[in-house]
A and B are shown apart, each in its own frame.
Chain A
């Protein structure tokens, strides 16, 4: 654990430089530049808002567009960070074969890169909040912690995924598809409250209802998105009970994922 932290500190300049490279490279020779980062969540928000006008989703006290955009902000970050983390090692084949530095720098860097886009989307959320006249509560001080948690969740997938991807490229192809399915199992289109109402209050699945609810919460993004909406939009303190199952899962899997990565690392140059 200590060596991990030391490595991170020793190679902080390299990670910053590589992250800057990723960002700069993505928007070079693009007229709109970094503005492209907001296109995806913005489009999805518009589509969801349109769909909602047919099916009706209860968004509570918060206007639906800003609620779903806040969810999309975290979700897009998580999804893209995980996907790009998984392809990051194979994507840097030339470097892997020529130069040594700790290989975990690649997945970590691609996750960090996504922070830039997250920051830009944050401005959109702020703008939407201002438009609807929502004031953030004092509890927004929790936001950095939530972001850190999202980073850890993305890294859990990125480490093990990028290592396997070196041997079987299927992972890099399959993950974006899988993750877009997981989006429907996360409170992105609908608020978490609806799931809770259905399962806990109405016991819709009979005696299994409570178990199903806990299983739903194993998805780290479920509690995360809900609490992010709590502190940013609803002015509520964070509800840690919804975060606990996912947090325990990440806490168990992240070290395993990292250890697997470190074990596979020394063969990257031979296999890639």
Chain B
């Protein structure tokens, strides 16, 4: 028996604004005499979505902005009703759709805990019982009798998260909440989530843009795009598909615009004229093969001679995880830029990047480590799978580290 059953759900919204009274009256009049009135254009936020979730499943929902994730959650939480189709939920839902929605700034933390608990459907006795635990989790002992309006925003979110996760509901819906608070608190939230999932066996729906988090927490992930479900399955597979999809989009956009899209910081002494990626056959490319040799070639326009500079080339992912920084600091003394056009090549042996889409960043620093030039996302390129390489990619990864394996049975 699934705990959540969504069948052929479609949600349409009218685009544009609500008409004034005059237009409404005119339209009603026109309809009464049988004339057609101009319809406002419809927007399908959800388009024929069906899926079901079994008790105890932990499901992530990912997708670009406007893919329909939040609309779907609103249907599940009964906040909004579908235009067509049906949503069946058997069990109490605790919605963490934007935590702290019911917080009243003038109330103290204590009052807000009770208010928020009641709004989320917790009986007063239950809140009494859990009050200590909530305050303890939120690390709030000294501020609990201070009005919430004096809190910094992080404290509010901590308290709201603590209240919402202490509800004893069968289903927990979480929309982008773990991305708040400092690192230590995020860690704590994460542990609490895992505790809810593993120990209490509740059904959890997590909507997030943080794909790495979804893979970590959820066993199953649904990928949405333009109101439709385009993938539903084990998290690693779905998220891989999502990465591939968004990387393709980024690559396409980067190639279509033909110019460097990155932000560039420069002192004016050095300008970047061109940046190209050259493969092992010596031709300029946008795609290189994983494990092959390649060269990054930059041409600089140097306004005045610079002695002993440090030129750094690096790779980063499209979501700006810095993977590497290849610098010239260990050949100090030989790295001077003459006035005029200078071409600087960096040759890479056996490119260790795993298949995917990456971008190049470039920096030039003087011997006091002052930035003369720095730019990110200067060239977006893709790394393809080496032909004939064994096996498929089982786990998402960024780099391939050369490795040797040895299986030896223990003697005796």
Interface residues on A, range: 20 to 34
| Contact A99-B101, Cβ < 8 Å, known A14-B121, A270-B13, A270-B80 | yes
Q: Which residues 14-36 of B have a CB within 8 angstroms of A?
A: 18, 21
Segment touching B, from A69-77, A90-98, A197-205, A242-250: A90-98
Q: Does B360 contact A (CB under 8 A)?
A: no
Contact, CB under 8 Å: B95 / A17: no
Q: Does B106 contact A (CB under 8 A)?
A: yes
Contact, CB under 8 Å: A167 / B18: yes
Q: Does A168 contact B (CB under 8 A)?
A: yes
Contact, CB under 8 Å: A29 / B118: no
Query: Which residues of the other chain, B, contact A168 by a CB distance below 8 angstroms?
Result: 21
Contact, CB under 8 Å: A271 / B18: yes
A271–B106 alpha-carbon span in the complex (Å): 28
Segment touching B, from A20-28, A33-41, A188-196, A220-228: A20-28
A96–B115 alpha-carbon span in the complex (Å): 15
Q: Does A240 contact B (CB under 8 A)?
A: no
Query: Which residues of the other chain, B, contact A28 by a CB distance below 8 angstroms?
Result: 106-107
Set A14, A24, A96: member contacting B107, Cβ < 8 A? A24
Contact, CB under 8 Å: B101 / A98: yes
Contact, CB under 8 Å: B119 / A13: no
Q: Does A266 contact B (CB under 8 A)?
A: yes
Segment touching A, from B71-79, B273-281, B337-345: B71-79
Contact, CB under 8 Å: B97 / A21: no
Set A14, A25, A97, A167: member contacting B118, Cβ < 8 A? A14
Looking at the assembled complex, report how far the CB atom of A266 sits from the nearest CB atom of chain B, in whole angstroms.
4
Query: Which residues of the other chain, A, contact B121 by a CB distance below 8 angstroms?
Result: 14, 101
| Contact A13-B21, Cβ < 8 Å, known A94-B102, A100-B77 | no
Contact, CB under 8 Å: A21 / B120: no
Q: Does B141 contact A (CB under 8 A)?
A: no
| Contact A17-B79, Cβ < 8 Å, known A98-B95, A170-B21 | no
Contact, CB under 8 Å: A94 / B101: yes
A36–B29 alpha-carbon span in the complex (Å): 48
A270–B119 alpha-carbon span in the complex (Å): 20
Query: Which residues of the other chain, B, contact A94 by a CB distance below 8 angstroms?
Result: 101-102
Q: Does A18 contact B (CB under 8 A)?
A: yes
Query: Which residues of the other chain, A, contact B79 by a CB distance below 8 angstroms?
Result: 96-100, 269
Contact, CB under 8 Å: B118 / A18: yes
Looking at the assembled complex, report how far the CB atom of A197 sits from the nearest CB atom of chain B, in whole angstroms.
43
Contact, CB under 8 Å: B115 / A17: yes
Looking at the assembled complex, report how far the CB atom of B165 sits from the nearest CB atom of chain A, in whole angstroms.
15
Q: Does B298 contact A (CB under 8 A)?
A: no
Looking at the assembled complex, report how far the CB atom of B88 sits from the nearest CB atom of chain A, in whole angstroms.
15
Set A98, A267, A269: member contacting B98, Cβ < 8 A? A98
Closest residue of B by beta carbon distance from A167: B18
Looking at the assembled complex, report how far the CB atom of A253 sits from the nearest CB atom of chain B, in whole angstroms.
23
Closest residue of A by beta carbon distance from B124: A13
Contact, CB under 8 Å: B74 / A269: yes
Query: Which residues of the other chain, B, contact A100 by a CB distance below 8 angstroms?
Result: 77-79, 93, 95
Mask of A248-268 contacts with B, CB within 8 angstroms, 1/0:
000000000000000000110
Looking at the assembled complex, report how far the CB atom of A37 sits from the nearest CB atom of chain B, in whole angstroms.
18
Set B77, B98, B107, B123: member contacting A13, Cβ < 8 A? B123
Closest residue of B by beta carbon distance from A96: B79
Q: Which residues 102-154 of B have a CB within 8 angstroms of A?
A: 102, 104, 106-107, 111, 114-115, 118-121, 123-124
A98–B118 alpha-carbon span in the complex (Å): 14
Set B93, B101, B106, B123: member contacting A25, Cβ < 8 A? B106
Contact, CB under 8 Å: B80 / A101: no
Mask of A169-189 contacts with B, CB within 8 angstroms, 1/0:
010000000000000000000
Query: Which residues of the other chain, B, contact A24 by a CB distance below 8 angstroms?
Result: 107, 111
Q: Does B81 contact A (CB under 8 A)?
A: yes
Query: Which residues of the other chain, A, contact B102 by a CB distance below 8 angstroms?
Result: 94-95, 98-99
Closest residue of A by beta carbon distance from B76: A100
Set A29, A95, A269: member contacting B119, Cβ < 8 A? A95
Looking at the assembled complex, report how far the CB atom of B197 sits from the nearest CB atom of chain A, in whole angstroms.
22
A267–B159 alpha-carbon span in the complex (Å): 31
Mask of A1-35 contacts with B, CB within 8 angstroms, 1/0:
00000000000011001100100110011000000
A7–B77 alpha-carbon span in the complex (Å): 17
Looking at the assembled complex, report how far the CB atom of A73 sits from the nearest CB atom of chain B, in whole angstroms.
28
Query: Which residues of the other chain, B, contact A170 by a CB distance below 8 angstroms?
Result: 21
A266–B87 alpha-carbon span in the complex (Å): 14
Mask of B217-230 contacts with A, CB within 8 angstroms, 1/0:
00000000000000
| Contact A14-B119, Cβ < 8 Å, known A28-B106, A97-B79, A269-B79 | yes
Looking at the assembled complex, report how far the CB atom of B282 sits from the nearest CB atom of chain A, in whole angstroms.
59
Query: Which residues of the other chain, A, contact B21 by a CB distance below 8 angstroms?
Result: 168, 170
Query: Which residues of the other chain, A, contact B74 by a CB distance below 8 angstroms?
Result: 269
Query: Which residues of the other chain, A, contact B97 by a CB distance below 8 angstroms?
Result: 98-99
Looking at the assembled complex, report how far the CB atom of A105 sits from the nearest CB atom of chain B, in whole angstroms.
10
A29–B106 alpha-carbon span in the complex (Å): 9
Chain A to chain B: the 7 pairs with minimum beta-carbon distance, closest first: A98-B101, A17-B118, A100-B78, A266-B81, A269-B80, A269-B79, A28-B106
Residues of B near any A CB (own CB < 8 A): 13, 18, 21, 74, 77-81, 93, 95, 97-98, 101-102, 104, 106-107, 111, 114-115, 118-121, 123-124
Q: A14-B119, A99-B77 are in contact. List 4 more A-B contacts (CB 8 A).
A: A17-B118, A24-B107, A99-B79, A170-B21
8 A–B contact pairs at CB < 8 A? A14-B118, A21-B104, A21-B107, A94-B101, A97-B101, A98-B97, A98-B102, A101-B121
Residues of A near any B CB (own CB < 8 A): 13-14, 17-18, 21, 24-25, 28-29, 94-101, 167-168, 170, 266-267, 269-271
